[in-house]
Amino acid sequence: MSIKLEHLNYVYSQGTAYEKKALNDICIEIPHGEFVGIIGHTGSGKSTLIQHLNGLIRATSGELYYNGENIYREGYSMRGLRNEVGLVFQYPEHQLFEIDVMTDVCFGPKNQGLSADQCKERALEALRLVGLKEKYYNVSPFELSGGQKRRVAIAGVLAMRPKVLVLDEPTAGLDPKGRDDILDQIAYLHRESDITVILVSHSMEDVAKYADRLIVMNKGAVMYNDEPKRVFEHYQELEKVGLAAPQVTYIMHDLAGRGIPVRTDVTTVAEAADEILRAVGS
Amino acid sequence: MVRDITIGQYYPAKSVVHRLDPRVKLVSTLLYLISLFLFRSISGYLVATIFLVTVIRISRVPFSFIVRGLKPVVLLLMITVLFNLFLTRSGDVLFHAWIITITEGGLVTAVYMAVRLIYLIIGSSLMTFTTTPNELTDGIEALLHPLNKIRVPVHEVAMMMSIALRFIPILLEETDKIMKAQIARGADFESGNIIQRAKSMIPILVPLFVSAFRRANDLAMAMEARCYRGGEGRTKMKPLHYKHRDYTAYAIVIIYVIAVFAIGRYLPLHIWIF
Amino acid sequence: MDMVQTEKLVFEYEKRDEEGNVIGVSRAVDEVDIDVQEGQFIAILGHNGSGKSTLAKHINAILVPTQGTMWVNGRNTKDPEELWNVRQSAGMVFQNPDNQIIGTVVEEDVGFGPENLGVPTDEIWQRVEDSLRSVGMIEYRHHSPNKLSGGQKQRVAIAGVVAMEPKCIVLDEPTAMLDPVGRREVLKTVQKLREQKKVTVILITHYMEEVVDADKIYVMDHGHVVMEGTPREIFSRVDELKSYRLDVPQVTLLADELRKRGLKIPDGILKKEELVEALCQLN
């Protein structure tokens, strides 16, 4: 279930005065089962990029292969693609509409043509995966808290049993605890079910903890595409484009600069503590 | 799609027309629209054309931009022309085949009607091209001010108009996002009969309404927090004051209307190629 | 002088069922006492639903206390005669940048507040220009707000409040919907306003990094003020903060972790430079 983008370009409003190059020669490959983080600030092209993955936006030029098949070839079923690549948008408010949580989560499977029983089965499975308490299943989605709405929105897409789950800034507007809860839940989901997870965020700290690989976007192009440690080595370049490495990375660099023999490719607090104790504590 | 519609848009440029008081432009546009129905002769059209072309030139709005604004109404125009062409029966028969008959009178009426409609649309869109939405609402508020006496809430209506103008683009963008979110969940807005299609709009309309109400609530709170308490005791950052050029503009428009009226009345010249 | 003061402030709202019958009463703010002096920078922290936004809306008299009292600039917010004075002296910036901009042009939006106050036209122009300059948005004065970034929109909203010449500005989670670049922009603007205009600032947020420079921090949970003190005092209680669903900056977490594992590091580390310095001293 790999995704492969070859020299993909996208130009907004081509041929008008508002013409703007949103994606510039994107070449990336995402193998099945990976947890990928896509990072970039607002306007870097990250949202445009992920809308290509399920065919919501069609590239101006270049190719996109899903499972080795070119999705732009004539007769390719976009509907089929959207069943395989699930996309959860930033604001759950944009998709919740039914009278209760259960019915709302059933919307996707219903569109896939499943029977009422099958829909319910899928919905129950999805709601369990996102960790929503059972007492909320029959509550109106509009009465839920921000974090709970987010869970229902993710469940709504998971119920379609996608092979790839793309999440656009799933933590925006949540408080710190809510944010950690959702990210932990997504990590759990990735472990429990055999799916690829693509997480879009503008927070390095969030993504560094979970992703196997980071794709950093800047001005419509891929700036870095590597494992988190390698990406954060370029913390000064990241700074220049309005992104930042996790705070601990800076601390380790500062310490090394002051002559304390610590490794600098550290991205989490626990790692940093171990490393400092090793260097200083003994 | 939405970007193609230029009617109602503002075209920023530095021209005398742009600088005119919005009240002048509103009144003049109204007078111009009325004037189009005051004559039936080619000389009348000639005067109306000269007037319109001159104003367009002075306004510095490119002609191509104005023409683009006509695109969405082409279909409406064609229907009007065809109706007039086939259904008006007067004068010599120019063409006859099967059940189709075209008469001289029909042709003339059709052409007149088309020109009149085109001038009507150009005339009113020229007003919106040269006036910002805010000036427009200010102008309407000032012109309708006398209605306050019969308890029409003029200030409130104008405030609502300007808020609507601010939020229409935001809500359009939001509609696009909601549609995409539902398409990603397998929603289908394109197939099925009318009832099925209407039903398929529910997943768009519900989130859109919920969001619009939320925005309205937030905005009301923000306005109150900034001491908004209706029109009373309120001062204006950009009060409307007639300047010299505004009186000149009024004079020109009045002369134009009189000219058109006089021509329609006393100079019913018919110069036809046939 | 007291800018904002509360005494056992309680706010309750009624829960209703679908027919509109009252089925219970919920306390969003429960016997809160706060005291803000003129010119101070005060932060109110708390997770979503802790009651911090409800409290903030009292400062602008959008809500009035169910029990207890709130004084703003010496005026009781419950007094209807003082309503507009209260709102003028305590300006408010909200979370969603789109839903608080009224004008379709930046400068007209900034002029909205002064227009409502009945300020003469010439002075409105002066105030609009001054406040757009102070938030660094003067070059965007003729732009449509729709074309601005989130951070820029919030700066316009701040200018709109500044133009009303308030003594105190309340910012209710102004950065919650922004990306890191926008967050930095807004915080810098607030910082600059404090220095230039000496205005009292009350910042409501759930981001700890934003409040390290505050004179005093209140932490709220379940409608109560549960912690109160300087940033250093508050930040030295890492476990307690975590129990209130708050996030602690990585540097504070790291310092705390190292201390727990036996290194001699001072309490309440706020900035990375402090930690680096402390570690270098150890060596």
Give C63-86 pLDDT, tens digit per residue.
999 999 999 999 999 999 999 999
Mean pLDDT of B212-238: 90
Strands (E), chain B: 93-97, 100-103
Q: Residue C105 and residue B132: Cβ atoms within 8 Å?
A: yes
Residues in Cβ contact with C237 at an 8 Å cutoff, skipping those fewer than 6 apart: C227
Tell me the H-state helices in B41-103.
Answer: 42-59, 63-70, 74-87
Locate A132 and state its tokens: 């929503």
- Decide if B146 is inside a domain: no
Tell me the C-alpha distance between C130 and B107, whole Å: 63
Strands C90-93 and C75-76, bridge-based pairing: unpaired
**pLDDT on residue B3:** 47
Q: Which residues numbered 102-161 in C keep a CB inside 8 Å of some CB on A?
A: 149-150
Tell me the C-alpha distance between C132 and C143, whole Å: 12
Residues in Cβ contact with B111 at an 8 Å cutoff, skipping those fewer than 6 apart: B81
- Between A11 and B168, where is the model more confident? A11
Residue of chain C nearest A257, judged by CA positions: C276
CA A9 to chain centre: 21
The amino acid occupying position B178 is: I
Strands C41-45 and C200-205, bridge-based pairing: parallel
Q: Residue A251 and residue C249: Cβ atoms within 8 Å?
A: no
**pLDDT on residue C128:** 96
- Decide if B230 is inside a domain: yes
Identify the CA nearest to A140 among candidates C4, B206, C224: B206
Strand order in the sheet with A213-218: A85-88, A164-168, A196-201, A35-39, A213-218, A221-226
Q: Up-side HSE of residue B191: CA atoms within 13 Å toward CB?
A: 6
Which residues in chain A have Cβ-Cβ distances shorter than 8 Å to C249?
247
Q: Are residues B42 and B126 in the same domain?
A: yes
Tell me the H-state helices in chain C.
Answer: 52-59, 83-89, 106-117, 121-134, 150-162, 180-197, 231-235, 238-243, 250-260, 272-282
**pLDDT on residue B1:** 38
- Residues B114 and B77: beta-carbon distance below 8 Å: yes
Chain B interface with C: residues with Cβ < 8 Å? 132-134, 162-163, 165-166, 169-170, 214-215, 218-219, 221-229, 233-239
Report yes or no: A33 at the C interface, CB cutoff 8 Å.
Answer: no
Per DSSP, the three-state class of B78 is helix
**pLDDT on residue B274:** 35
Of B180, B186, B206, the CB nearest to A111: B186
How many independent structural domains does chain B possess?
2
**pLDDT on residue B272:** 43
Domain spans of chain A, in order of start = 246-282
Q: Which chains touch A (3 or more CB pairs under 8 A)?
A: B, C
Which residues in chain B have Cβ-Cβ distances shorter than 8 Å to A82?
183-184, 186
- Residues B53 and B32: beta-carbon distance below 8 Å: no
Residue B60 is given by DSSP the state T
Class of domain C38-63+77-230: alpha beta
Q: How far is B22 from chain C (nearest CA, A)?
A: 16
Q: Within a 10 A sphere around the Cβ of A20, how many other Cβ atoms?
A: 12
Query: Is pLDDT above 80 for B2?
Result: no
Locate A234 and state its tokens: 């370029």
Q: Which residues numbered 213-272 in A keep a CB inside 8 Å of some CB on C?
A: 242-244, 246-248, 250-251, 254-255, 258, 260, 269-270, 272
Q: Are residues B7 and B122 in the same domain?
A: yes
Q: Are residues B63 and B186 in the same domain?
A: no
* Residue pointed to by tokens 């007639």: B242
Tell me the C-alpha distance between C233 and C211, whole Å: 13
Tell me the C-alpha distance between C270 and C249, whole Å: 8
Q: Are residues B89 and B119 in the same domain?
A: yes
Q: Residue B235 and residue C101: Cβ atoms within 8 Å?
A: no
Task: Read off the pLDDT of residues A33-56 as tens digits, 9 standing for 90 and up.
Answer: 999 999 988 888 999 999 999 999
The pTM for the full model equals 0.86
Q: State the best of C153, C254, C264 to mutate against chain A, taking most chain A CBs within 10 Å.
A: C254
| Beta-bridge partners for A269 | none
Task: Read off the pLDDT of residues C152-186 as tens digits, 9 standing for 90 and up.
Answer: 999 999 999 999 999 999 999 999 888 888 888 99
- Decide if B6 is inside a domain: yes
Strands C41-45 and C216-221, bridge-based pairing: parallel
Out of A92-101, B67-76, B108-117, C105-114, which region has the weakest mean confidence (pLDDT)?
B67-76
Tell me the C-alpha distance between C180 and A203, whole Å: 8
Strands A213-218 and A221-226, bridge-based pairing: antiparallel
**CB neighbour class for A231 (10 Å; exposed up to 12, middle 13-18, buried from 19):** buried
Q: How far is C73 from chain A (nearest CA, A)?
A: 31
Calculate the average pLDDT of chain B: 84
Mean pLDDT of C87-97: 94
Query: Is pLDDT above 60 for A77?
Result: yes
- Between C62 and B87, where is the model more confident? C62
Query: Is pLDDT above 70 for B8?
Result: no
- Residues A207 and A228: beta-carbon distance below 8 Å: yes
Q: Residue B203 and residue A94: Cβ atoms within 8 Å?
A: no
Q: Residue C102 and residue B219: Cβ atoms within 8 Å?
A: yes
Per DSSP, the three-state class of C37 is strand
Residue B213: pLDDT band with limits 50, 70, 90: very high
Residue A279 is given by DSSP the state I
Query: Is pLDDT above 90 for B106?
Result: no
H or E stretch at B98: none
**pLDDT on residue A166:** 95
Report yes or no: C20 at the A interface, CB cutoff 8 Å.
Answer: no
Q: Within a 10 A sphere around the Cβ of B151, how many other Cβ atoms?
A: 7
Q: Are residues B124 and B251 in the same domain?
A: yes
Write down how long chain A is: 282
Tell me the C-alpha distance between C127 and C121, whole Å: 10
**pLDDT on residue B105:** 78
Can you give the three-state secondary structure of A51-82, one letter per residue?
A: HHHCCCCCCCEEEEEECCEECCCCCCCHHHHH
Q: Which of A146-160, A232-246, B41-55 has the highest mean pLDDT?
A: A146-160
* Residue pointed to by tokens 């072309």: B53
How many degrees, rounded to 5, is the angle at CA C175 between CA C170 and CA C177?
125
**pLDDT on residue A215:** 94
Task: Read off the pLDDT of residues A167-208 as tens digits, 9 standing for 90 and up.
Answer: 999 988 788 888 888 899 999 989 988 899 999 988 777 787
Query: Is pLDDT above 70 for C214?
Result: yes
**pLDDT on residue A1:** 67
Which residues in chain C have Cβ-Cβ distances shorter than 8 Å to A247?
249-251, 272
Q: How far is CA C188 from CA C45, C134, C194, in A?
A: 19, 11, 10
Locate C202 and state its tokens: 């009350």
Identify the CA nearest to B57 among candidates B45, B46, B66: B66
Mean pLDDT of C5-10: 93
**pLDDT on residue C219:** 95
Domain spans of chain C, in order of start = 38-63+77-230
Residue of chain A nearest B4, judged by CA positions: A16
The interface predicted TM-score (ipTM) is 0.89
| Domain range for B98 | 1-131+242-274
